[in-house]
Amino acid sequence: MKILIDTNIVLDIMLAREPFLEPAKELIRMIDRDRIQAYVTANSITDIVYISRKVRTLREIQKLILDLLDMIDVIGVGRDDIIAAFDLGFSDFEDALQSRCAIKEDIDYIVTRNKKDFSKSKIAAVDISAFLAEHKE
């Protein structure tokens, strides 16, 4: 199974945001046990670093991102993806770009905390709690 992890879930880990931290950690544990092939988009990484800089040092962020990249692949974002994302009709461009990249990579699910943000996505968006409940070992 292939999933795209929404930016907000990675930020939950990076910033230790409660009460969202434990579900995000559980998802990472599932990925680490090779049960799931997980992705983030390249633009998500830049957003994550930018937002995390408000709370963490660049060295801390770098370590956390590099640890994450040992388990998660990055989907590149190119010119065609940007153009296609504009045509998806999303109100939030970041979500549109993630959805476009999920389509390009033939992702099964977008795992998020904000399912409604992906209501126009051709790839099913699932709430992290529902995803974890459905895929428990």
Q: What is the pLDDT of residue 137?
A: 65
Q: Are 71 and 28 in contact (CB under 8 A)?
A: yes
> For every one of its 137 residues, what pLDDT tens digit does the chain have, with 9 covering 90 and above?
999 999 999 999 999 999 999 999 999 999 988 778 999 999 999 999 999 999 999 999 999 999 999 999 999 999 999 999 999 999 999 999 999 999 999 999 999 999 999 999 999 999 999 999 998 76
Q: What is the dihedral of CA 94, 123, 36, 40, to 10 degrees?
A: -10
DSSP state of 121: -
Q: What is the pLDDT of residue 136?
A: 79
Q: What is the pLDDT of residue 135?
A: 87
Q: How many CA atoms lie within 13 A of 11 on its CB side?
A: 17
Domains and CATH numbers, the chain: 2-134 (3.40.50.1010)
